[in-house]
Structure 1
Amino acid sequence: MTEEQEQPVFLDALFRQKRKHGKFRLVEPPRLEGAVADTHAHVHLLADPALEFARCAVWGVDFVCDIIDVQEDAPEVFDRFDGWYVEAAERLPQVVECTREVLAAGGDAVTHLPDGALPAAFVLPEGAAARPLPRLRLACGVHPHNAKFYDDAMEARLVARLADPRVCAVGEIGLDYHYDLSPREDQRQAFRRQIRLAHETGLPVALHVREAHDEAFAMLHEEGFPAAGTLLHCFDLDWGTLEPWVEQGCYVALGGALTFKRCQDTRDAVARTPRNLLLTETDSPYMTPEPMRGVPCGPAHTVFTAACMAEVLGCESAAARAELLAQLRENARALLDRPPTAWQQAHAPAAVNERNCE
């Protein structure tokens, strides 16, 4: 059993930092002047997806794009989101009430808080129980780790999923030359075929690129950058790496790495990136932002990355932060929350529930 699996189950909306001897310290989230979007998450890999959606409502994360892999994720996962969403709506008042009880109790053994751990200024957002759940969209693709399995049959399964109007992107796709879990030629072929699917379907691509940015960029030039857009996911490198992508008009998504001490080059790159190309994400359950490393990440943690980005961009006043947050949210919705494409309208299965992408 992993360290993350062994930690206690908390049913409130609070953020915690893991301490010694099984203790946790509450971390007060930043007070933001607007809603935020998580453009890349794996909510279905978390222990309690419905709880995660409820936590998003409490902290103002009003859009989540969940990433599904045709090879790794069971087909039924695609159909569980509606149920999780309904359950989240039912549980939201309970989550808020549980949060209030923990805050009222302060530090004790029951809540796994050391004495005196509760921040004095900690209060729940006003009207937390009545806040809307996040809009949910899905991206679907074959990760470069799984490129060795990519064949005509897998592509047929992928095409069937892309026809679902809840799907907003082909992804995550790309090249990963760090782990090389699939042969590089297999990665290249799977990447090319999925870029072509993006052109065919009219969808943007969400990219996973590691130690292969130059080659991935060259391949996109050869195949053509999708007209619907290109999203460079989980960026944590420098401006020299990012500049050609920005010049091409690609979106760049920043997650928990933006808060890491080692990522000053990334913060410098963000400061030089046009704001209309910036996005926030989590990559949950991975890449938990500081100061909560060591616990699973959820979409609600996006608020920490958004606050860090505001600081990096020099948004010191409430008005400046509100303007930035509105821009980031608009970027996310413009790229990933569009109506179904013409191809999707022509190929969508009749039984698909379109409730959450109308």
Structure 2
Amino acid sequence: MLFDTHAHLNANQFDEDLEEVIERAKGEGVGQIVVVGFDHPTIKRAMELTDQYPFIYAAVGWHPVDAIDMTDEDLKWIEELANHPKVVAIGEMGLDYYWDKSPKEVQKEVFRKQIQLAKKVNLPIIIHNRDATADIVEILKEEDAKDVGGIMHCFSGSVEVAQECVDMNFYISLGGPVTFKNAKKPKEVAEAIPLEKLLIETDCPYLTPHPHRGTRNEPSYVKLVAEQIAQIKGISFEEVAEVTTNNAKKLFGIN
């Protein structure tokens, strides 16, 4: 069975055909999916989906792009939701220096608050990083994020940074880009990082793997990510599926 550790089935791109999308995922052997909420509407929808489907779990957090909109009430709400048995992580959170909606200092403050909250409720964290690697690593160290650990979501950095994150109790999650011909770094990371520290994801509806690039991504395509990692490592697809699924279950506390 495969475990898609980061999906946005709560996005409006899935409003029309969610049932079919889920059936296709099951058909490709996807056994569990974590749907990630990152603001009011997406968190609410993620929680609805966990109630609706036994194999869907939720992560709840606040996206760095929208950090400027987060209130103390929102943080309290996330803390309350963390008690739900199917909320398995806090996030996605982190820093995004590509978009400039939220000032860097505001992003950093909201990031720190969420790490502190995750430590309080004892849940792993899911890290969103865009053009902000050095600051993210620094904050993770300063806040002792290793106490809860988590996921470097859709990792695009170097092998050296990946290893630094593994040393801080984080899993490296690879998605569609590992299948792209010109994606040198994700392939190097897939080769260098032990399978015991890797996870797989789609980040659907975004980052669709080859050969479906340019279309909407969906959880069934996580199989293409697993197949690519198997090819890079020279091991069987079955081994990649089994180990990455066990890694996810261990991290999320799913029996």
- The alignment's TM-score, normalised by the length of structure 2, stands at 0.93
In the other structure, the counterpart of 1:105 is none
The structure number with the bigger radius of gyration is 1
Gaps of 5+ in 2: none
Is the CA contact (8 Å cut-off) linking 1:36 and 1:63 kept in structure 2? Answer: yes
Cα separation, 1, equivalents of 2:208 and 2:170: 24
Is the CA contact (8 Å cut-off) linking 2:146 and 2:170 kept in structure 1? Answer: no
| Greater per-residue helix proportion | 2
- Map 1:203-352; keep pairs closer than 5 Å: 203-315=123-235, 320-338=236-254
- Map 1:85-124; keep pairs closer than 5 Å: 85=53
User: Identity over the aligned pairs, expressed in percent?
Assistant: 31
- Map 1:115-154; keep pairs closer than 5 Å: 135-154=55-74
Amino acid at match of 2:32: F
Amino acid at match of 2:9: V
Is the CA contact (8 Å cut-off) linking 1:205 and 1:226 kept in structure 2? Answer: no
CA offset at residue 78 of structure 1? 2.2
Cα separation, 2, equivalents of 1:204 and 1:80: 20
Among 78, 82, 96, the alignment partner of 1:158 is: 78
Superposed CA offset, 1:140-194 (max 9, x none): 0000011001221111221222221110000100001112321111100100000
Cα separation, 2, equivalents of 1:234 and 1:188: 20
Cα separation, 1, equivalents of 2:43 and 2:174: 28
Distance change in 2, residues 1:177/1:332 (3 Å): same
Matching of residue 55 in structure 1 with residue 24 in structure 2: yes
Structure 1 stretch 155-164 or stretch 143-152: which is displaced more? 155-164
Matching of residue 43 in structure 1 with residue 12 in structure 2: no
Distance change in 2, residues 1:321/1:73 (3 Å): closer
Among 1, 20, 39, the alignment partner of 1:70 is: 39
Structure 1 stretch 241-250 or stretch 298-307: which is displaced more? 241-250
> How many matched pairs?
252
CA offset at residue 212 of structure 1? 1.1
- The alignment's TM-score, normalised by the length of structure 1, stands at 0.67
Superposed CA offset, 1:61-91 (max 9, x none): 11100001233426355224434x3xxxxxx
SS in 1 for 2:123: coil
Cα separation, 2, equivalents of 1:74 and 1:331: 24
Matching of residue 197 in structure 1 with residue 122 in structure 2: no
Cα separation, 1, equivalents of 2:158 and 2:192: 10
